[in-house]
Amino acid sequence: MSKKNIEVSEERLVEEGEVAGDYLEQLLDILDFDGDIDMDVEGDRAVVSIDGGDDLDTLVGADGAVLDAIQELTRLAVQQELGDRSRLMLDIAGWRAAKREALTEAARVVAKRVLESADPEEMDPMSPFERKIVHDAIAEIDGVDSDSTGVEPHRRVVVLRA
């Protein structure tokens, strides 16, 4: 069975964001957490963020583990409501945004070392989300390329001269 490349309309992504927002609002009420829910569309994904509550770090968990679980539950709620699998991205208390910035900076530092030494360098193991951020950052730097090596959960990015 081949995968079909289906372009998701912005209208559909807005609908996903609205369903996700309703689900998350109910979840926050049940858990007795305060937070403002914001919805946006970035590229081919609905992006929902929860900000503003003092205790939202609890919903992020250690290294984003609780956030990942809530994101998956939210995707399932959207799928149940709309019938299709969602690629929705959830951020809580700016954790994913900060992680993206830190990984982008780490990629730049490694790229600089590789450019100076000409030796490939393996980064620490990362999740697919984290590796994508690093690959995207490396792609914007002239003179270096990136690849992934290893098997989950120990898969890592290798930065090498182009």
* pLDDT, tens digit (0-9, with 9 covering 90-100), for 93-116: 999 999 999 999 999 999 999 999
Boundary-marking domain end, from 93, 109, 124:
93
4: pLDDT strictly greater than 70: no
Q: How far apart are CA 24 and CA 48, in angstroms?
A: 9
pLDDT in tens, 30-81: 999 999 999 999 888 999 999 987 789 999 999 899 999 999 999 999 999 9
For the chain, helix (H) and strand (E) counts, in that order, are: 5, 6
Do the domain assignments include residue 1?
A: no
Q: Which domain holds residue 70?
A: 10-93
Classify residue 3 by its DSSP letter.
P
Do the domain assignments include residue 4?
A: no
State which H helix or E strand residue 110 sits in: helix 95-117
Is residue 85 located within the same domain as residue 108? no
Do the domain assignments include residue 15?
A: yes
Can you read off the two tokens belonging to residue 20? 């996700």
